């Protein structure tokens, strides 16, 4: 299978440590050094992550410091603001230049759903990807995906040249009708495509769990973190090439590499434990936001939508208004409040989770009083 020599934990460069608004490159370098010293090699970035600073961080923390054949890296072609076929080569070259590499090991069309797939067809993105590969600028081509299993099947039928897919899979959304983790996984398997898993911890949501869930996990594995269950669950699936974790500090990195260095798939008992945890979580009505931030850039009121949703979920899970309000105030200190939404609908076109953002912000404004 493609990528079978790659250790299953990938370093997602989407939520790097920061000092103020800037990437903490020194801490990132320390994280990279530990990651590489344990035999992990996969780094994932994208043109749009942190307005290009993520690709630059890849260059500074990895590319400039390690031989090119000692790691593999992936980046992604953005289609959101792309209006013509002629722009594609320039965008892809910009990614190569920022990352300081001659080629990406894995190059993806970013975030395909119905709308962007139709656009990709209009702009001849798939022939462009094949040409990019033929020129030696990508070893392997694929796409990341946020939509229904039906659309995934349509794309894979039309484009057998796509060698792999990147899917959002986590134990909470395995049977979810919107995210469709299981159904998408099964389509990818049917077409024999290796799978890269993104958002295994649901943007951190599967760490801040109710006490009942945390106690359940700890009763089975007292020494393992809550996050470990989500990442090991994803890595235990057949046909998975790598599981991405967007690591933001040394503690997260050390935790992840600890249990993934000598990865053991979940045992039958552990699988049963995860199923029980899902039953407990499903009884709670939380917002399925993964904090991808695709909704944020175009918001005319600069509303920190994922930050507000995180505070709302905190309130739902822990029922502690004071703590959730503190989190809400922190999330909105530099931008619009939930009640500032002018209902333009721009954000909803970009949400891969299809969240009713406007309605949910109205509820948040009621809960937090602003
Ligand atoms: S609908 Fe509200 S939150 Fe969404 S982009 Fe418009 S103003 Fe921002
Ligand atoms: S609301 Fe949707 S687009 Fe915005 S951060 Fe959450 S999941 Fe991403």
Site to substitute for ligand 2 among 355, 359, 360, 364, most atoms within 8 A of C-beta: 355
- Is 135 inside a domain boundary? yes
Nearest to 167 by CA among 239, 216, 224: 239
Residue 149 to residue 184: CA distance in whole angstroms = 5
55 and 167 together in one domain? yes
Give the number of other Cβ atoms within 10 Å of residue 330's Cβ. Answer: 12
Ligand 2 pocket, mutate which of 46, 287, 294, 364 (most atoms under 8 A from CB): 294
pLDDT of residue 62: 98
Alpha carbon 239 to chain centroid, angstroms: 18
Say which CATH number the domain at 174 has.
3.20.20.100
Report the alpha-carbon distance of residue 248 to residue 126 in Å, rounded.
33
361 shares a domain with 242: no
- By C-alpha distance, which of 237, 135, 158 is closest to 143? 158
What digits encode the pLDDT tens for the residues 126-170?
999 999 999 999 999 999 999 999 999 999 999 999 999 999 999
Q: Do 228 and 326 have their domain in common?
A: no
Residues 80-130: pLDDT tens digits?
Answer: 989 999 999 999 999 999 999 999 999 999 999 999 999 999 999 999 999
Q: Any idea which ligand is nearest the CA of 204?
A: 2
Whether residues 172 and 311 share a domain: the answer is no
Give nearest CA residue, ligand 1 atom 6. 344
Please indicate, yes or no, if residue 316 is contained in any of the structural domains. yes
Q: 38 and 102, same structural domain? A: yes
Give CA separation, 221 vs 59, 193, 228, 236, in Å: 38, 33, 10, 17
Q: What is the DSSP letter of 334?
A: T
- 292 within some domain: no
Instruction: Mark whether 121 and 23 lie in a shared domain.
Output: yes
Residue 312: CB atoms within 10 Å: 23
Instruction: Output phi, psi for 19, to 5 deg.
Output: -120, 110
Say what the pLDDT of residue 179 is.
82
- Length of the chain counted residue by residue: 370
Q: Are 308 and 332 in contact (CB under 8 A)?
A: yes
Q: Residue ranges of the alpha helices (H) in the chain?
A: 25-37, 53-58, 87-99, 114-122, 125-134, 149-158, 181-190, 211-220, 226-235, 250-260, 268-282, 305-318, 321-331, 357-368
Q: Residue 210: what are its φ and ψ, rounded to 5°?
A: -60, 155
How many angstroms does the Cα of residue 157 sit away from the middle of ligand 1? 36
Q: Is residue 4 part of a domain?
A: no
Backbone φ and ψ for 12, nearest 5 degrees, come out as -80, 125
Query: How many structural domains comprise the chain?
Result: 2
**Do 340 and 195 share a structural domain?**
no
On whether both 339 and 274 belong to a single domain, the answer is no
| Minimum CA distance residue for ligand 2 atom 3 | 351
Same domain, yes or no: 334 and 247: no
User: Would 155 be classed as within a structural domain?
Assistant: yes
Query: How much is the pLDDT for 319?
Result: 63
Domain presence at residue 300: no
Residues 317 and 274 in one domain: no
What is residue 217's predicted lDDT score, i.e. its pLDDT? 97
Ligand 2 centroid to residue 351 C-alpha, Å: 5
Domain that holds residue 108: 9-281
Closest ligand to 297 CA?
1
Q: What is the pTM of this model?
A: 0.81
| Among candidate residues 231, 247, 281, the one where a domain is terminated | 281
């Amino acid at each position: 299978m493609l990528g079978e020599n790659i250790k299953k934990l990938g370093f997602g460069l989407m939520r790097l440590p920061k000092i103020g608004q800037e990437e903490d490159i020194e801490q990132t370098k320390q994280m990279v050094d530990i990651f590489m010293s344990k035999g992990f090699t996969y780094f994932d970035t994208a043109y749009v992550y942190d307005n290009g600073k993520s690709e630059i961080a890849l260059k500074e923390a990895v590319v400039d410091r390690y031989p090119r054949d000692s790691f593999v890296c992936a980046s992604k072609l953005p289609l959101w603001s792309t209006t013509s076929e002629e722009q594609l080569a320039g965008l892809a070259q910009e990614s190569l230049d920022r990352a300081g590499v001659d080629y990406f090991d894995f190059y993806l069309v970013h975030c395909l759903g119905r709308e962007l797939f139709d656009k990709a067809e209009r702009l001849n993105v798939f022939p462009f990807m094949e040409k990019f590969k033929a020129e030696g600028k990508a070893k392997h081509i694929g796409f990341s995906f946020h939509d229904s299993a039906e659309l995934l099947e349509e794309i894979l039928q039309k484009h057998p040249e796509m060698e792999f897919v990147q899917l959002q899979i986590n134990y909470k959304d395995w049977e979810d009708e919107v995210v469709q983790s299981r159904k998408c996984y099964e389509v990818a398997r049917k077409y024999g495509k290796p799978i890269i898993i993104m958002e295994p911890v649901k943007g951190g949501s599967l760490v801040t769990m109710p006490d009942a869930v945390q106690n359940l996990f700890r009763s089975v594995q007292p020494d393992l973190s809550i996050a470990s269950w989500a990442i090991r669950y994803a890595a235990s699936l057949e046909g998975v090439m790598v599981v991405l974790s967007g690591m933001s500090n040394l503690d997260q990195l050390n935790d992840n590499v600890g249990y993934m260095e000598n990865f053991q798939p979940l045992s039958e008992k552990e699988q049963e434990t995860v199923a029980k945890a899902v039953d407990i979580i499903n009884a709670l009505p939380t917002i399925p936001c993964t904090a991808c931030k695709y909704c944020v850039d175009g918001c005319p009121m600069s509303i920190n939508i994922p930050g507000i949703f995180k505070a709302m979920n905190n309130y739902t899970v822990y029922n502690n208004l004071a703590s959730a309000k503190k989190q809400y105030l922190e999330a909105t200190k530099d931008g619009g409040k939930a009640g500032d939404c002018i209902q333009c609908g721009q954000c909803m076109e970009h949400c891969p989770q299809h969240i009713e953002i406007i309605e949910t912000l109205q509820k948040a404004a009621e809960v937090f009083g602003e």
